[in-house]
Amino acid sequence: MQKLSALLISGVIISTIACQPKSKVADEKNNNESADTQEVVLSPAEIQGKEMLEKCLQAHGGLESWNAFEGLDYTLINNGNPVYQLTHLKDRRAYIKSEDYEVGFDGKVAWATPDMSKLPGKSAAFYYNLDFYFIGIPFVLKDPGVSVTYEGKSTIDSLEYESIKVTFGSGVGLTPKDVYYLYIDPESNLLKILVYSISYFDKSETQTLGSAKVYSDYKPTQGLLMPGKMENFVWEDGKLGASKNHLRVFEKIRFLKEIPDEKKFAAPEGAVMEEI
């Protein structure tokens, strides 16, 4: 009888233990494993957008060729004024020099000397990679946190284009609310028109698409096709408007296997600085 009672008690204890809820650690482990193995489901528009971006990348020379280089430099003729720009492609440190100012980004801080009064937007943080990002499209759109959707065919000034929309995840870069529309030539797959908003100075939820850049004069550059010119136009109701009389001409474009003097990225003594 005593043996039977002991067996019954043991059974109750075992059953009770077996019925206890799993530990929090075990739940978290299982949830993490489930999250790791869960596939991201893309919509048809996202799938088409990625495919269209890939075609555009290949037409421009391919992401593999872009990634083979460490740096990119060029002289930008901005409304007649020459500006030298250098960007580290791997970490986006930057150095810019004109007759009126020097600007840089050392990986943490954007800086300018002698001050920021003559910079576009009067901000080193805004300006240091502004032109690089525009000349770096479509390649920079493969950065983490970038979302692309196919928007269909569009007709602009009697010419047909394939179009994709680009948005950014929360916390991506300084301006995650920016919106871009790429208009791509359906025959060459080259980027022809970029329509965009800039949210750096406008933090409102709804961004206005009021500007467009027309890309032209593409030139072979070390296995990649790079635009020689960009001209700004008004964009209104899905149409190109008047020129804004702002022409950028890119000269001496050069990809670098290594950057010879990385000290240029560091802020000189007396520079005005902005944290990023």
**pLDDT tens-digit series, residues 127-155:** 999 999 999 999 999 998 899 999 999 99
* Domain annotation covers residue 23: no
* Domain annotation covers residue 30: no
* Domain annotation covers residue 124: yes
* Domain annotation covers residue 21: no
Evaluate whether 265 touches 106 at the Cβ level (below 8 Å). Answer: yes
Q: What is the pLDDT of residue 6?
A: 41
* Domain annotation covers residue 38: no
β-pair type (146-156, 94-97): unpaired
**pLDDT tens-digit series, residues 223-234:** 999 999 999 999
Residue type, 238: G
Evaluate whether 177 touches 152 at the Cβ level (below 8 Å). Answer: no
Domain count, the chain: 1
* Domain annotation covers residue 20: no
Evaluate whether 181 touches 171 at the Cβ level (below 8 Å). Answer: no
Show the low-confidence residues of the chain (pLDDT under 70). 1-38, 170-176, 199-207
Q: What is the pLDDT of residue 21?
A: 45
Q: And the tokens for 117?
A: 């009064």
Evaluate whether 49 touches 148 at the Cβ level (below 8 Å). Answer: yes
Buried b / exposed e over 16-27, threshold 16 CB at 10 Å, is: eeeeeeeeeeee
- Three-state secondary structure string covering the chain: CHHHHHHHHHHHHHHHHHHCCCCHHHHHHHHHHHHHHCCCCCCHHHHHHHHHHHHHHHHCCCHHHHHCCCEEEEEEEECCEEEEEEEECCCCCEEEECCCCEEEECCCEEEEECCCCCCHHHCHHHHCCHHHHHHHCCHHHHCCCEEEEEEEEEEECCEEEEEEEEEECCCCCCCCCCCEEEEECCCCCCEEEEEECCCCCCCCCCCCCCEEEEEEEEEEECCEEEEEEEEEEEEECCEEEEEEEEEEEEEEEEEECCCCCHHHHCCCCCCEEEEC
* CATH of residue 227: 2.50.20.10
* Domain annotation covers residue 198: yes
Q: Phi-psi region for residue 62, left (φ > 0), alpha (ψ -120 to 50) or beta?
A: left
Domain limits for position 48: 44-275
